[in-house]
Amino acid sequence: LALSGDVALLGRGDVPATLSFNAESPIGSGSASFGVTLNSLDAQDIATQAPALAWLNGLRAPISGSLRGSLTGASDLGEMSATLQIGAGVLQPRADTQPIPFEEARTYFSFDPATATLSFDEISVKSAIGTMVSDGRAVLEGLSQGMPDAMVGQFRFSRLEADPEGFFEDKLKLSGAETDWRLSFNPFRFELGRLRVTDPALPLRASGTLSAEEGGWHMALDAELDRLTPETLLAYWPPSAGEKARDWVEKNIYAGTFHDVKAALRLEPGGHLVPYLQSRFTGVELTYSRTLPRLYEGVGQLTFLRNRLTVALDSGEARPRQGGVLQGKGSSFVIPDLTERPMMGEVNVHATGSLEATLSFLDEPPLEVMKKANKPVALGTGEVAADVRIVTPLKHGVQREEITVIADGTVTGVESAEIVPGKVLSADEFYVAVDDTGVSVGGKGDLSGAPFDGTWTQSFTPGTPGKVEGEVVLSEAVSQALGIGLPKGTFSGEGRGRVDITLAHGQPPQLVLTSDMAGLGVSLPQLGWRLSQAGTGSLDLEATLGAPVSVEKLALKAPGLTAQGSVALNADGTLRRLSLPVLRAGAGSTGRRCSPGAA
């Protein structure tokens, strides 16, 4: 018994769909074989005709091709094979999900109802995004109600090409991949249990879900890579996915290796695509500012999420123009918002290295900290451990007033002949602080033999002199070290004094010293007067620390003595003249000028 026929159907498009069929059955037998030829039949109409075709239900596209199958004696569907050509259409399981277009697809498959298994000899898809060719097997689930509700499969991709306009810079080609997946039909949900790319150029592993929900698509895709170079990362990083982060990586990372790379894409219904990237890196060479020294041998982590880019360093080094290398363990660079215009960069440097290298780093334009302080980068010697925070616009032509700088740290083994010209300032440890207003260095130290506890400050306001303020130990040794020029034996014991030194650019330092003289003995045999170390009084001294020192004012008040005058020194620093226009010793009042050897 043979039967054949042709049917023309009104499809959803302008072209009518046609269906040709034939069937044969031995007379007296309940079994039969059949064949169906399709032309431009709607995918959703086909999907409802047989369990093996249910997976086509999410498509909106015309299908042409042929089906061959059989019916058993119990009128059950037997084995079936199909060749289908799918025309241009979209994947759109729901009306409120954005359609995903494709240009064409084709598949050759067979179905074994005994095992509910679909065997795909080929399934290929071509779209504006790219082309894929695969084969594999899938098992239908939920057939107890007649039509399946899901299918679980394993596919092997023999060809993967991605060339979407504006997505990748160059065509992406992969020679192979393997997948395990599950597709639920109603509601539509695709679960990618495992994707393993077998192409050694990009040995990627991925998993995720794509589901059609009320209001649109929901997607969660996670991918991992063991290792890749910056060039490979950029080749497979679509410019449209995290465009600003990708642009920063392309322009600022010059060398190195990424490893333990983790990437993700998230999409909520009606929302925007949210990319995420996290990667460890080694041997990285990068820039974080247009003018600051480049980072070398960087080891750390790069993270990008919701337009925030962070580079955190486990180790790395900067190489300023002077002073050697700065180690940057614990440093970071952050762009809080890649969509902001201009983008702002936050440089958080934990630096260890020489004092000269640190100051050289801070003196790069447009910071120019030392230039504004009128001090050389080679300010002195010492080792620095400092935290520096710089917030700057990431643009061309940035001005100094647009930048915020805050730095603080410690310097050990300090020695400087530049802070106080003509004097050597040294210390076991000083603290250093820099901000937008100026720089300061302080702590306990030694000023050319004078024990000292104070601070040097220098404002960045043009024309503002620097200042040294603090306490100094007063003694015979200190007097000689500072070159005050008073006769040996003038002082005994130790006292404390307040010292202020004004450091005007291009001029000798101006010293003001005051003391209550407690603990300091004073002997002036020329006047027949002395003050024991147990006594107190007041000492005021004003001097110019030139070569030699010039003491413009020396004022002394103590029991039995009031004196005020000046001290003149010879070129070699020895006393030339002590002039005391105001002198009251005991009950008398007079003035006196003393020279070396005067009685």
DSSP string, 189-207: EEEEEEEEE--TT---EEE
Which parts of 191-333 fold into alpha helices (H)?
230-235, 243-252
Q: 158 is written with which tokens?
A: 């023999």
Report phi then psi at 230, rounded to 5: -55, -35
pLDDT of residue 591: 55
CA distance 218 to 269: 5
Q: Mapping DSSP to helix (H, G, I), strand (E, B) and coil, where does residue 301 land?
A: strand
Percent of the chain as helix, strand, coil, to the nearest 5: 10, 55, 35
The owner of tokens 């302008």 is 14
CA distance 83 to 270: 36
CA distance 195 to 180: 7
CA distances from 420 to 259, 424, 470 (A): 51, 7, 14
The owner of tokens 């069929």 is 21
CA distance 569 to 546: 11
Q: Please give the distance of CA 258 from its chain centroid, rounded to a whole number.
A: 15
Cβ contacts of 293 within 8 Å, gap of 6 or more: 318, 319, 320, 321, 326, 361, 364
Q: Are 513 and 540 in contact (CB under 8 A)?
A: yes
pLDDT of residue 338: 87
CA distance 52 to 113: 9
pLDDT of residue 599: 39
Which parts of 236-320 fold into alpha helices (H)?
243-252
CA distance 56 to 46: 8
Q: Mapping DSSP to helix (H, G, I), strand (E, B) and coil, where does residue 234 land?
A: helix
Beta strands in 28-176 (DSSP E): 32-42, 59-60, 62-71, 77-86, 89-91, 100-102, 104-112, 117-126, 130-141, 150-162, 172-174
CA distance 539 to 518: 10
Task: Give the residue ranges of the chain where pLDDT is below 70.
Answer: 1, 10-14, 28-30, 73-75, 164-170, 240-241, 586-599
Total count of residues recorded for the chain = 599
Q: Is the dihedral of CA 392, 393, 396, 402 positive or negative?
A: negative
pLDDT of residue 170: 66
Which parts of 278-400 fold into alpha helices (H)?
355-362, 369-372
Q: Mapping DSSP to helix (H, G, I), strand (E, B) and coil, where does residue 358 land?
A: helix
pLDDT, tens digit (0-9, with 9 covering 90-100), for 530-564: 999 999 999 999 999 888 889 999 999 999 999 99
pLDDT of residue 324: 95
pLDDT of residue 73: 65
439's enclosing H/E stretch is strand 438-447
Q: 481 is written with which tokens?
A: 């070290």
